Structure 1
């Protein structure tokens, strides 16, 4: 078996084992967790704990319970809920059906959005004019994470305008806002990727030959699309996997009884069997999406075109003259907010609850009478500080793992296919929600893109003649890596890591918003937004303020990513 395939198989087995051992990874007695979940007031006597162990077979120990859990999965049995006492699988299946409908509606929104964003590039290419459109709309859509866009749509469309129902599931009207919140960011990113690919395709000589030969525009457009799609299939797979993680936040905001909300509720209630089954289904869904996209790519390429036989479309992205203007302006605005709020106390409840903004209180007060400006300013330090720590961990891990690309193929692919929210659910189950758990969860997946970048650069360096001949001259493997390979990859990968910092901060904020990150009264941006949501009708400024701060951070992440691509 090839080393990369073996690496993938071993990684999948390790993930299955870790998910199966979740009840024991926390170091807490599972029987005590069950007792607390069922009745927090009951005295945890040895007799009560032993009765639970005997009832659920916990006395058999972790290894035997893992074997029984895996054997049950093969029979379609995911165990018994610690809370309800009923089988887990029927609830998982029912919730999965709801999530699949939501995902289908969201993907339809994403596909329509991407098509509309691609039309200008397609029209320019068919007229023989190269280049890209500005991409401003795509960038704006991409700069709105699902949890933030959900909150914004809920406040503006459902509460202020009263055009659509704010909560629930079961009617077409109730699906519109969740589908928009989940599909628009994905559509913006997908549209930008396809526009880039189409622009590169239309720069290839064969299309000019087809146009001269008199082929119709419709046929040329179909051929250009077929030429472009294989190159972006891996990115489309990652976008769909990201939608799986984003659905957790969307279902929570709009009270949709889907799999994401079920898993989040199971994590909060410490209902381990339901949480294990939900995490496993989400992970398998991510793997399935990647597999389907790989098969579709093969069908588009055709049997005669093997991997590597078709050159990847490349398009030049000339950096605009004032390319750093937008990120610099956004960064200056964020710094202004931080400097204005740092001297103020973010914890003191010295104002009237939900007090409106005024000169003395520029951004109003929250539901506990605390200064919103102070909390947002101090939250910037908390959120960015945690993001900097995660970035450093991800950089070191990515460099170390990426130096062994064949051995690390499995961990890199699994980590890239795991949204931070799913990692956050698993870590919260083992450690409980908190700042440390959020850092570990995001760091557990943030290293993968950096490792993939490191692996690609290291492969290029090792292929250079002076490096290939070094072992013949007596240079050992360790010295080769330290002397030649590592210095060539550290600089580019470090710059890549720094540009990922705003996106990592948004992932941490998403965990805080879902209750998987820092705990109250921490002034963390995601937590601030979650605490303000119940008061959106009475005090919309309490919601819009953290949304605006997160929007600025999103714009910073998107613009820096665009500069990195150029």
Structure 2
């Protein structure tokens, strides 16, 4: 492998990254401070209702609350006072309960951090299981492209809140293996850790399973094979090579395990940080929300620095502050079975959608409530007697259409900022610390709950994985031999961008976007489950999952249809990425 330094001095880039983190964190905290005033609702009225449930307070009561909280001073005075108290360990008092904020946030963070560690263990275990076959076969030069990709798609497809409901019902209530509610000891960690860690591990494992074949086809591995190195040693170094590119994708996963686990915390009644932030935002209780947001930002920045240090440790001393050449997918025949799986998934999904479009999704029959699947209702009926097949079919265009629009916006934004390293330095890492749930709360405060408000919230934070990937690929491509050859022939910046940089970055980012399309659907579904997305009676897959989630134990078929549709969509996305990887030409050195 030819290794070329990226720059003589990395300090300017580090300074830019640090300034980007500070700027993004300051903007986020300022937006949170403006939340009660951005919503258009009277903060005193919201706080008074949260305190006593009084729906019709008198003007005198509202005036007393405004005077007590100092709301007449405006948001910036409150923000400055809150910042002044932080160095002394004073984060203010709750507007609703009147209790000190810092002990509440500290206790909630301890719970969320413990849950995050358990979920990370599950994530690593699932990712290792998915990529183990490819790692074993690659070490013996019997390579197959992404053999675990289909299994990863199936495991990553179910929404975390749906998986949490199933685990709580089956393993908690029916079998009684583990507690289904509360936070009382290590046993309480098992089910929520599985609900959070299995989909995350499937995503990371799928990315690693796609990167390993390229690592095993690099020139150094062929040299090591010829020199008689042990297959186990080759596998270990190929894993280090592939992990260096996958690790940046772990940062959004870590943030999602803490701030984005609100739905799982609600189902298992866990007093975590995400749930505290959600409750504070709903009540417009500003001091706890600001403090929880600050903790999430600091956690994301710390996780980013740790992941960066781990990546440098994996690369070793010889490659620190230098760029690795990009991993390019090898030309490996695609198994015929995967073609049959993709074709069957497409046919099944198309059949469900077409059959549903021929039915009325809004027809209510109270005499047919929660009927099981039958000839008249192939997927059964919901709690209002509406045909679930009809609602699934009519919701497909809306669900996939919104997810495609969000994915397109996020991809373009991430690609632009990732390739503009000086502008996006640090910004990507800081914005990736913002959970989509918190972004949904901020946008909902201004636009109200709607599908487009939820889509805008996802766009605000969803571009970060693509920006991180584009920046890493750009750095790797600049280290390749053909770049140096073009520079030696006098190629300009425009030529290098059109003929080398963009062709090397764009296909991989598009494959990542296609692979993350089902994830976008799941995030929109999670926002709908929390009441921040599409509102009834809209037929949308996330809406179907959220409104039928309470009936999982009584009528599991109510969530079976949209869950299966998400699995089929995930399998198709993985098949598309595998096909495009096979068609991507390898650059010539």
Place the TM-score, normalised by the shorter chain, in its bin: 0.7 to 0.9
Where in structure 2 are the equivalents of 1:457-472 lying within 5 Å?
469=492
CA 1:25–1:562: 2 relative to 1, 3 Å: farther
Q: Tell me whether 1:89 sits opposite 2:89 in the alignment.
A: no
Partner of 2:378, secondary structure, is: coil
Q: Tell me whether 1:188 sits opposite 2:202 in the alignment.
A: yes
CA 1:559–1:515: 2 relative to 1, 3 Å: farther
Q: Tell me whether 1:508 sits opposite 2:530 in the alignment.
A: no
Q: Tell me whether 1:434 sits opposite 2:447 in the alignment.
A: no
Aligned-pair CA distance for 1:76:
3.1
Q: Report which stretch shifted further, 55-64 or 367-376.
A: 367-376
Distance 1:195 1:386 in 2: 29
Aligned-pair CA distance for 1:291:
0.9
Aligned-pair CA distance for 1:339:
2.4
Q: Aligned match of 1:338 in 353, 359, 363?
A: 353
Aligned-pair CA distance for 1:507:
1.8
Q: In the alignment, what sits opposite 1:370?
A: 386
Q: Tell me whether 1:251 sits opposite 2:265 in the alignment.
A: yes
Aligned CA RMSD, in angstroms, stands at 3.8
CA contact under 8 A between 2:143 and 2:332: conserved in structure 1? no
Q: In the alignment, what sits opposite 2:9?
A: none
Distance 2:497 2:318 in 1: 38
Distance 1:469 1:310 in 2: 22
What do the CA deviations read for 1:25-72 (whole angstroms, capped 9, x no partner)?
223332232223334434344432222122112221122112112223
CA contact under 8 A between 2:436 and 2:458: conserved in structure 1? yes
Partner of 1:140, secondary structure, is: helix
Distance 1:331 1:128 in 2: 32
Q: Aligned match of 1:54 in 62, 67, 74?
A: 67
CA 1:417–1:554: 2 relative to 1, 3 Å: farther
What do the CA deviations read for 1:216-237 (whole angstroms, capped 9, x no partner)?
6666555555454434322333
Partner of 2:322, secondary structure, is: coil
Q: Aligned match of 1:9 in 3, 22, 25?
A: 22
Aligned-pair CA distance for 1:458:
8.6
Q: Tell me whether 1:447 sits opposite 2:463 in the alignment.
A: yes
CA 1:30–1:300: 2 relative to 1, 3 Å: same
Q: In the alignment, what sits opposite 2:192?
A: 178
Q: In the alignment, what sits opposite 1:230?
A: 244
What do the CA deviations read for 1:328-377 (whole angstroms, capped 9, x no partner)?
53343233222222343333432333233332233222223332222222
Q: In the alignment, what sits opposite 1:423?
A: 439
CA 1:325–1:20: 2 relative to 1, 3 Å: farther
Distance 1:134 1:302 in 2: 29
Aligned-pair CA distance for 1:503:
3.2
CA 1:132–1:319: 2 relative to 1, 3 Å: closer
CA contact under 8 A between 1:423 and 1:445: conserved in structure 2? yes
Q: Report which stretch shifted further, 280-289 or 60-69.
A: 280-289
Q: Tell me whether 1:43 sits opposite 2:56 in the alignment.
A: yes
CA contact under 8 A between 1:155 and 1:540: conserved in structure 2? no
CA 1:330–1:266: 2 relative to 1, 3 Å: farther
Q: Tell me whether 1:379 sits opposite 2:409 in the alignment.
A: no
Where in structure 2 are the equivalents of 1:257-296 lying within 5 Å?
257-296=271-310
Aligned-pair CA distance for 1:508:
1.0
Distance 1:508 1:500 in 2: 12
Q: Report which stretch shifted further, 492-501 or 102-111.
A: 492-501
CA 1:547–1:193: 2 relative to 1, 3 Å: closer
Distance 1:404 1:327 in 2: 36
Q: Report which stretch shifted further, 190-199 or 367-376.
A: 190-199
Distance 1:210 1:491 in 2: 30
Distance 2:260 2:333 in 1: 31
Q: Tell me whether 1:329 sits opposite 2:344 in the alignment.
A: yes
CA contact under 8 A between 1:500 and 1:561: conserved in structure 2? no
CA 1:295–1:49: 2 relative to 1, 3 Å: same
Distance 1:547 1:329 in 2: 17
Q: Tell me whether 1:520 sits opposite 2:533 in the alignment.
A: no
Q: Aligned match of 2:129 in 116, 135, 139?
A: 116
Partner of 2:265, secondary structure, is: helix
Aligned-pair CA distance for 1:134:
1.6
Aligned-pair CA distance for 1:159:
4.8
Distance 1:531 1:446 in 2: 25
CA 1:405–1:428: 2 relative to 1, 3 Å: same
Distance 2:312 2:412 in 1: 35
Q: Tell me whether 1:413 sits opposite 2:429 in the alignment.
A: yes
What do the CA deviations read for 1:94-127 (whole angstroms, capped 9, x no partner)?
1221212211111112222333334333433444
User: For structure 2, which runs of at least 5 residues remain unmatched after alignment?
Assistant: 1-11, 583-589
Q: In the alignment, what sits opposite 2:83?
A: 70
Q: Between the two structures, name the one with larger relative contact order (CA 8 Å, sep ≥ 6).
A: 2
Aligned-pair CA distance for 1:195:
4.2
Distance 1:199 1:41 in 2: 62
Could you tell me the TM-score, scaled by structure 2's length? 0.81
Distance 1:349 1:102 in 2: 41
Distance 1:467 1:45 in 2: 77
What do the CA deviations read for 1:493-525 (whole angstroms, capped 9, x no partner)?
778756654432222112112222122333222
What do the CA deviations read for 1:243-302 (whole angstroms, capped 9, x no partner)?
335522322222222222222333333433333332332232222211111112223334
Q: In the alignment, what sits opposite 2:545?
A: 529
Where in structure 2 are the equivalents of 1:90-109 lying within 5 Å?
90-109=103-122
